[in-house]
Amino acid sequence: MSSIAGRPFAARPVAADPATLDAYFAQVRSFEADRLRSAERSRRVAWAVASSAGLVAAAACFAVAALAPLKTVVPLAFRVDNTTGAVERVYDVRGGDMEATEAMRRHFLWEYVRHRQSYSAGEAEANFNAVSLTSSPTVQQLYAAEFRGSNPMSPQVLLGKDGEATVRWLGTSFLSDRLAQVRFEQVERKGLIALPPRRLIATIAYDFAPGAVADAAININPLGFVVTSYRADQEVVK
């Protein structure tokens, strides 16, 4: 018990106002409802974020899976000649397709060497025409001078009507886009005497000059392959 101005004071309960209580409880219910609505909104936002993250992750996985075939490792194999040290690429045709343009270049390069370096009296004219159809004018003139019967180094003179020269391909390498080397073995025979085989390297500058092709040339040079420089040297054995 307390006192005011020396007189004793006793605390008495104050009667509650019904209107005040109703307002108070209404505020409590409104607060609880707001809190529940806020929690529900937070839960929906969390699910939306999680769903979006899952979709992004799935899309990334599909993208990586789609790119996987594009990122492949292509093995390259090379062979080294133990005698000369020459390096040659080895193609596995079962493991993939060789690039078409490279296959054509390799074909035309070897055909040129084969026609130019082989010889027999029966095939001399056909080989001469094939070389002429695939050579630039300058190379044609040089080859004609080499092959002419008045040249003592011509195969017509050295091997004669009964002689022959055969060639065997050993390898082709590309030094640049329009420069290549063809390694081959040449065996010459004069009558019944076979000369020792020689290993040679033909260095060839070439190009493709497509255009109108005569009927006589279409079976030999349909794509306009033309040799602009040619030189064959003895291979140095290391």
| Top CATH class, 77-234 | alpha beta
Is there a contact between 226 and 209 (Cβ–Cβ < 8 Å)? yes
pTM here is 0.61
DSSP state at residue 72 = -
- Degrees (nearest 5) of the Cα angle 203, 207, 209? 155
Q: What is the pLDDT of residues 1-24, one digit of tens each?
A: 555 455 554 545 555 566 665 665
* Of 74-88, 125-139, 151-165, the least confident: 74-88
Q: What is the pLDDT of residues 105-150, one digit of tens each?
A: 999 999 999 999 999 999 999 999 999 999 999 999 999 999 999 9
pLDDT at 97 over 60: no
Is there a contact between 216 and 65 (Cβ–Cβ < 8 Å)? no
Answer positive or negative: Cα dihedral of 221, 227, 233, 238.
negative
Residue the block writes with tokens 């809190």 = 35
